[in-house]
A = this chain, B = another copy of it.
Amino acid sequence: MDINMQKIEGGVCAAKGFFAAGIHCGVRKNKDKLDLAMIYSDKRCAAAAVYTTNKVKGAPIAVTKRNIADGYAQAVVCNSGNANTCTACGESKAETMCKSAGKALGIEAEDVIPASTGVIGLPLNIDAITEGMPALAKKLSNEGSAEANQAIMTTDTREKSIAYKFNIGGSECRIGAIAKGSGMIHPNMATMLCFITTDAAIAPAVLQAALSDVVKDTFNMVSVDGDTSTNDMTCVLANGEAGNKEISEIGSEGYEAFKKALFETSRYISREMARDGEGATKLIECKVNGAATKEDAKTAARAVVSSSLFKAAAFGADANWGRILCALGYSGAEFDPTKTDVTMSSAKGELLVCKGGSSVEFDEDFAKEMLSEDEIVVAVELNNGECYAEAWGCDLTYDYVKINGDYRT
């Protein structure tokens, strides 16, 4: 399906009617670091979200679930510096965030999606947030995406943002996203947050279906350290200002067009999140082909990018394919090791390193040069079926240990 997708500027403000801002309110001690972000639509939006599967959930998750239960929302407010998780009164503080944002924006508190990221187990300074809210709302602009992005970052080393325009049945629509990846202010846990805005018109239930579907092949295929955060969330706000005919049916042409745009947006952000994993020097992409089922392909791909041993080898630019076979072997995916081929590649070229589960001769010097690039691809051919999946991770480095071994000060 050709939806004539083109990259544009603007992040979460690229879609019509969306505004964003970021300020320093005081949750963090460092005054140079923004710590409170807001995204706002001038119309109420269809809203959908997916959340962490961790049994220990951040307090904002519960409030977000309640607030978008009716399928609608109009703003997102998110602090960094504190996860508002595992502390007394967490939910009540998340509700206070919503009330305070609603008041500053002149909308219902129940139309605000709250989020928090940072250290677990310390009380959130809610006063700093409520006091900063009016200034934050006042600062909203359609050029505020980068600032909002900065305000949700923790140990991220760069902003993760994207926007596209695309066509749905002749109407030009826009979709944009900002995200934070795998970092933390006090080393704590890799909280993934992604906020997506679109001006496409789409019914809430249909939007949720598209998001739930896309997440399985994008965000859920990223691993930085195997630790599933308590606060992960991806949400989409769709305000319909593009003027397309509302997408109201799962599987319709409009639905597929929107889902494609949502997929590309989510895939871009997922890759950027892996690339900016804590301490990472390179992105690892694993493509598994020839699996008997999609689930087998996904399980296998995710095992490879999650293997500590392979991640350390990638850091050392070591074509240690035995670790890839090993990870495939314990992944639980169905396959026959003796039919498995592995090819490694980067911008420098590609190299078959394993054929039929056994070693093949290759030039180790070239392998090292090739794997020294900042993006490497591991292509696994299982020769066991027709299914394909890809997953993204990063290398395991001294800096990962440094970032997470440092004392919480």
Contacts and interface: CB of A to CB of B under 8 A. Distances in A.
A315 interface: yes
Contacts of A326: 54, 56, 120, 189, 227-230
Given A55-B337, A326-B120, A307 B187 contact: no
B396 A329 contact: no
B358 A405 contact: no
Most buried by B among A187, A368, A405: A405
A364 B189 CA distance: 19
Nearest to A55: B329
A188 B320 contact: yes
Given A85-B322, A187-B320, A227 B308 contact: yes
B408 A325 contact: no
A282 B368 CA distance: 33
Given A322-B120, A405-B316, A308 B87 contact: no
Given A121-B321, A322-B120, A357-B56, A312 B404 contact: yes
A189 B312 contact: no
A401 B406 contact: no
Nearest to A54: B329
Given A55-B329, A325-B120, A315 B401 contact: yes
A400 interface: yes
A323 B54 CA distance: 12
A227 B307 contact: yes
A383 interface: no
Copies in the complex: 2
Contact of A406 (B121, B190, B316): B316
A309 B55 contact: no
Interface string A208-250: 0000000000000000011111100000000000000000000
Interface string A161-194: 0000000000000000000000000011110000
Contacts of A55: 328-330, 335, 337
A56 B325 contact: yes
Given A54-B326, A55-B337, A401-B397, A318 B407 contact: yes
A123 to B, nearest CB: 8
Interface in A387-409: 396-398, 400-408
B401 A401 contact: yes
Nearest to A404: B312
A207 interface: no
A141 interface: no
